[in-house]
Amino acid sequence: MKVLMFGWEFPPHISGGLGTACYGLVKGLNHHKQEVIFVVPKLWGDEEPLADFVNASDVVIDYREKKFKKIWKNLTYLEVSSFLVPYLGPEEFKKYTDFSIHDRTDVDESVFSNKFEFSGKYGKDLMKEVSRYALVAAQIAKAKEHDVIHAHDWLAFPAGIAAKEISGKPLIAHIHATEYDRSGESVNKPVYDIERAGMHAADHVVAVSHLTRNVVINKYGVHPDKVSVLHNAVLDASIIHSETRKHVPEKIVTFLGRITFQKGPEYFVEAAKKVIDRDPNVRFVMAGNGDLLNKMVERVAELGMGTKFHFTGFLKGKDVDDMYAISDVYVMPSVSEPFGIAPLEAVRHNTPVIISKQSGVAEVLINAIKVDFWDVDAMADAIFGLLHYESISKMFKELGSEELKKLKWEHVAAKLVKVYEKTLKQ
């Protein structure tokens, strides 16, 4: 089977869990001898050769062709004055400055150059690039033989729709996160509309958790029979025995992720204060960047925790591994987390985890402490317990490592192939 897959990023150039999940799925599909044509806006040249990669920036299209005109006329895009990342919260999304439906008569003619140069990033022209990506997708779908189309999240949904319109092949919409996860009830309407259009145009929808499936059904009006759940996994289930050692005597508790509304960093800060009041020999680390970073720095200062609370900025690669290795507890207090791969990576480093009940990973990681994101007292108690009762910590380490063995991408890919086959028969 040939799968035409549209994403927005692929390792090693990623900004979040989406690219990691795409990598895992492609590798899993390789394991099951499936051919994947993976399209991204921009290739960097150092991607692992797991698929027939297509650089959208290299594709030449003839926009005068009737079908391309029709596709373009139905596309919308945002002109945004601020740096827009697909994971950000309501404050960033409110900064958009212009939204309009464009026909070729009122768009700068440069838009219709034969080849589009994509930035491959999440800058101010993100939505314009999303629209152009859809046009390129149509050309690729026309040129590349394939059996099924697979589009990851809203950035790639217009591309998936355009490809389906050209080739007539079935479309799978893969939901890694929704606008409700990123922004709560203050959704960005244009992004929501793109998400909804993608889900309803798809022949089948794949959600990364039952939590996300419920959002797709209840918030986007998708029929339950059309939505399957495929939990994320880990690339390697083996435990990592790092030689990295911490250089401070205190225990270390870590938050590692985007410092945004969705991830609940403020609850981590408040819980940290409660723990430090009981035991000052603990250090807390917040690793990551995001729109709430300055607010968190200010709150830590207000609470007088400056000498016990550290901000590392964005970490990647070995720095992430080292951070897990020196941590005694990992906390993911997300307000709404469709899945959440980071706790699985923490378990791989033999670090016990505390996760919010409002996360998809809570559905598969049974042997972890789970708390409501807003319950900072329960979160503080859980942190204190793992730090001070070695037998509890040891138990969660051992049970967690056993659970990882069931969470492999080849297992996820096997289920995905069945979804493809079922959709093709419809």
In a domain, 37, yes or no: yes
Q: Are residues 46 and 24 in the same domain?
A: yes
- Considering only 91-100, 109-118, 236-245, 304-313, which range has the smallest mean pLDDT? 91-100
In a domain, 244, yes or no: no
Q: Are residues 209 and 255 in the same domain?
A: no
Choose among 304, 303, 348: nearest CA to 327. Answer: 348
Q: Are residues 53 and 195 in the same domain?
A: yes
Residue 399: domain span: 251-404
Contact 54, 41 (CB under 8 A): no
For the stretch 186-226, pLDDT in tens is 888 889 999 999 999 999 999 999 999 999 999 999 999 99
Secondary structure of residue 423 in the 3-state scheme: helix
Is the C-alpha dihedral spanning 189, 136, 7, 10 positive or negative?
A: negative
Q: Are residues 258 and 160 in the same domain?
A: no
In a domain, 288, yes or no: yes
Residue 17 confidence (pLDDT) above 80 = no
% the chain with pLDDT above 90: 57
Rounded Cα distance, 390 and 193, in Å: 49
Q: Are residues 353 and 416 in the same domain?
A: no
> H helices within 255-358, ranges in order?
265-278, 293-302, 318-326, 342-348
Give the residue, 43 or 68, on which the prediction is more confident.
Answer: 43
CATH code of residue 416? 3.40.50.2000
Q: State the number of CA atoms in the 13 A half-sphere of 183 facing the CB.
A: 18
Rounded Cα distance, 182 and 339, in Å: 13
Q: Which two tokens stand for residue 65?
A: 């062709």
Rounded Cα distance, 311 and 367, in Å: 28
**The pLDDT of residue 415:** 97
Q: Are residues 415 and 400 in the same domain?
A: no
Highest mean pLDDT among 7-16, 113-122, 140-149: 140-149
In a domain, 238, yes or no: no
For the stretch 135-184, pLDDT in tens is 889 889 988 999 999 999 999 999 999 999 999 999 999 999 999 988 88
Q: Are residues 284 and 161 in the same domain?
A: no
Choose among 348, 340, 332, 329: nearest CA to 392. Answer: 329
For the stretch 25-58, pLDDT in tens is 999 999 999 999 999 998 888 888 899 999 988 8
**Domain total of the chain:** 2
In a domain, 138, yes or no: yes
The whole-chain average pLDDT of the chain stands at 85
Contact 86, 124 (CB under 8 A): no
Give the residue, 103 or 251, on which the prediction is more confident.
Answer: 251
> What's at 203, amino acid-wise?
D
Q: Are residues 225 and 256 in the same domain?
A: no
Residue 111 confidence (pLDDT) above 50 = no
Give the residue, 393 or 115, on which the prediction is more confident.
Answer: 393
Q: Please, what's the b/e burial string for 305-333 (b: 16 or more CB within 10 A of its CB; e: otherwise)?
A: beebbbeeeebeeeebbbbbbbbbbbbbb
Q: Which residues pair with 6 in a beta bridge?
A: 39, 151
Choose among 319, 351, 354, 329: nearest CA to 244. Answer: 319
Q: Are residues 118 and 174 in the same domain?
A: yes
**The pLDDT of residue 72:** 54
Helices 376-388 and 390-404, interaxial angle, to 10°? 100
In a domain, 163, yes or no: yes
In a domain, 246, yes or no: no
- The H or E element that residue 356 is part of is strand 353-356
**The pLDDT of residue 75:** 53
**The pLDDT of residue 101:** 30
For the stretch 398-410, pLDDT in tens is 888 788 888 889 9
In a domain, 260, yes or no: yes
**The pLDDT of residue 392:** 86
For the stretch 285-324, pLDDT in tens is 999 999 999 999 999 999 999 999 999 998 888 899 999 9
Q: Are residues 356 and 280 in the same domain?
A: yes
Q: Are residues 283 and 360 in the same domain?
A: yes
Distances (CA, A) of 238 to 22, 86, 350, 364: 20, 31, 10, 17
Q: Are residues 207 and 270 in the same domain?
A: no
**The pLDDT of residue 188:** 86
For the stretch 352-402, pLDDT in tens is 999 999 999 999 988 889 999 999 999 999 999 999 998 888 888 888 878
Contact 384, 273 (CB under 8 A): no
Choose among 328, 338, 344: nearest CA to 360. Answer: 338
Report pTM.
0.82
